[in-house]
């Protein structure tokens, strides 16, 4: 793990706590204050359908850039909306759908997904981008090597933000000369495809899979995420004729500016938007909790029904159905490895006996 990611993890673990608190607070106050029908009424009243609709593409020092009918303009925010500025540091974020008139945003539509982090004081939530349809999780098949645990981490983070994951396996051109990685690639597909996650194999170098990715991004808002060096910049350049820095240069930029949280929605030529900034690329990399890990691995949870201990961690306990399935070859090792390493990261605890069992089964 690079220092950058370590830093991000520490940073986000604090942020996560705060967000949970805020969410709990919001849910509690929502429930106590209004009945559902009242809430619906408020929502209906809030949106004035007669006003033009636009989408916030960026928030800069100059103001809020709103795109409507293909044109962009700077808008200010109506004073009465500012009174609502309580829990979040920023009132609008890239991706917001707004109603506006004469350069003033009058209303913000309810959001269906949000990416956020705590602001510099750690007291308020800062929205990074909202209304995102999908997270494109880019991983490399060869260099850097495929890490299923990292894929699962991003899937967990996407689910938390109500964003659909799409797994992109890049650098497929290198498989022909890398038999070990090729075997691992097939193991990954065999384990992850049956779980229902959409997976796309791609090579930016040969162009294979690029058209399929473009069609999956059409008319949607996608956030690009993944480790440095997997080919995110190269991919955007190739698919949409962008001019993003690649290789070591982009890594340097990312390190220097990874706390940048402002996002810009980039319009895609064939419809849709994508967001790619260093601050967002690693959005999923905060500290995990073991409950999150367990909830994510539904396949393992299903096997666990028959475990002897109700709180079995499936790492060392006797009469564990998950370990039995693993040793019988019914649970793919690549999948268990991911569970194991994420649980360990989350502080779930593993002992040497389990490690030995795993080594023996290879």
Cα–Cα distance, 42 to 107 (Å, whole number): 13
Q: Are 279 and 258 in contact (CB under 8 A)?
A: yes
In the bound state with ligand GDP, the residue whose beta carbon lies nearer, of 194 and 207, is 207
- Quick one: which of 322, 325, 342, 343 contacts Zn ion (CB under 5 A)? 322
Q: Does 307 bind Zn ion (CB under 5 A)?
A: yes
Q: Could you please report the per-residue DSSP string of 126-169?
A: EEEEES--EEEEEEESTTTTP-HHHHHHHHHHHHHTT-EEEEEE
SS3 at position 96? coil
Of residues 43-72, which lie at the interface with ligand GDP (CB under 6 A)?
none
Residue 264's binding partner out of Zn ion, ligand GDP, none, with CB under 5 to 8 Å set by partner kind: none
In the bound state with Zn ion, the residue whose beta carbon lies nearer, of 105 and 304, is 304
Residue 307's binding partner out of Zn ion, ligand GDP, none, with CB under 5 to 8 Å set by partner kind: Zn ion
Candidates 155-163, 233-241, 282-290, 317-325; binding stretch for Zn ion (CB under 5 A): 317-325
SS3 at position 299? helix
In the bound state with ligand GDP, the residue whose beta carbon lies nearer, of 119 and 181, is 181
Cα–Cα distance, 194 to 301 (Å, whole number): 15
The pattern of x and - marking residues 201 through 230 that bind ligand GDP according to CB under 6 A reads --xxx--------------------x-xxx
Q: Give the other-Cβ count within 10 Å of 165's Cβ.
A: 21
At 319, phi and psi to the nearest 5? 50, 45
In the bound state with ligand GDP, the residue whose beta carbon lies nearer, of 101 and 253, is 253
Closest residue to bound ligand GDP by CB: 231
User: Helix axis angle, 333-345 relative to 352-361, nearest 10°?
Assistant: 160
The pattern of x and - marking residues 240 through 279 that bind ligand GDP according to CB under 6 A reads ------xx--xx----------------------------
Of residues 150-179, which lie at the interface with ligand GDP (CB under 6 A)?
170-171, 173-174
Strand pairing of 53-60 and 63-68?
A: antiparallel
- Quick one: which of 12, 99, 153, 232 contacts ligand GDP (CB under 6 A)? 232
Q: Does 230 bind Zn ion (CB under 5 A)?
A: no
Cα–Cα distance, 280 to 259 (Å, whole number): 9
Residue 124's binding partner out of ligand GDP, Zn ion, none, with CB under 5 to 8 Å set by partner kind: none
Strand pairing of 273-275 and 221-225?
A: parallel
Contacting residues toward ligand GDP, per CB under 6 A: 170-171, 173-174, 203-205, 226, 228-234, 246-247, 250-251
């Amino acid at each position: 793990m690079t220092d950058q990611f370590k830093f991000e993890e520490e940073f986000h673990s604090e942020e996560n706590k705060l967000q949970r608190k805020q969410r709990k607070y919001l849910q509690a106050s929502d429930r106590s204050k209004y009945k559902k029908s009242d809430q619906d009424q408020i929502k209906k009243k809030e949106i004035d359908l007669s006003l033009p609709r636009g989408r916030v593409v960026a928030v800069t020092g100059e103001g809020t850039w709103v795109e409507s009918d293909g044109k962009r303009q700077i808008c200010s925010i109506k004073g009465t909306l500012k009174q609502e500025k309580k829990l979040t540091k920023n009132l609008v974020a890239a991706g917001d759908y707004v109603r506006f008139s004469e350069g003033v945003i009058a209303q913000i539509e309810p959001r269906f997904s949000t990416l956020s982090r705590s602001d510099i004081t750690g007291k308020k939530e800062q929205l990074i981008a909202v209304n995102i349809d999908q997270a494109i999780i880019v991983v490399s098949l060869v260099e850097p090597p495929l890490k299923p645990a990292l894929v699962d981490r991003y899937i967990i983070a996407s689910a938390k933000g109500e964003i659909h994951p799409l797994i992109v396996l890049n650098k497929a051109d290198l498989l022909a000369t890398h038999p070990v990685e090729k075997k691992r690639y097939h193991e990954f597909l065999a384990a992850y495809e049956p779980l229902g996650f959409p997976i796309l194999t791609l090579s930016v170098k040969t162009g294979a899979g690029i058209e399929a990715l473009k069609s999956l991004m059409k008319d949607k808002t996608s956030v690009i995420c993944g480790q440095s060096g997997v080919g995110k910049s190269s991919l955007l350049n190739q698919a949409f004729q962008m001019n993003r820095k690649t290789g070591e240069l982009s890594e340097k930029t990312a390190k220097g500016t990874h706390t940048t949280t402002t996002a810009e929605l980039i319009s895609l030529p064939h419809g849709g938007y994508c967001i790619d900034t260093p601050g967002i690329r690693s959005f999923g990399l905060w500290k995990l909790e073991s409950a999150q890990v367990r909830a994510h691995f539904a396949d393992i949870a299903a096997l666990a029904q028959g475990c002897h201990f109700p709180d079995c961690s499936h790492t060392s306990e006797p009469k564990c159905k998950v370990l039995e399935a693993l040793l019988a070859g019914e649970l793919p090792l690549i999948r268990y490895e991911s569970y194991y390493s994420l649980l360990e990261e989350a502080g779930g605890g593993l002992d040497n006996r389990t490690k030995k069992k795993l080594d023996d089964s290879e």
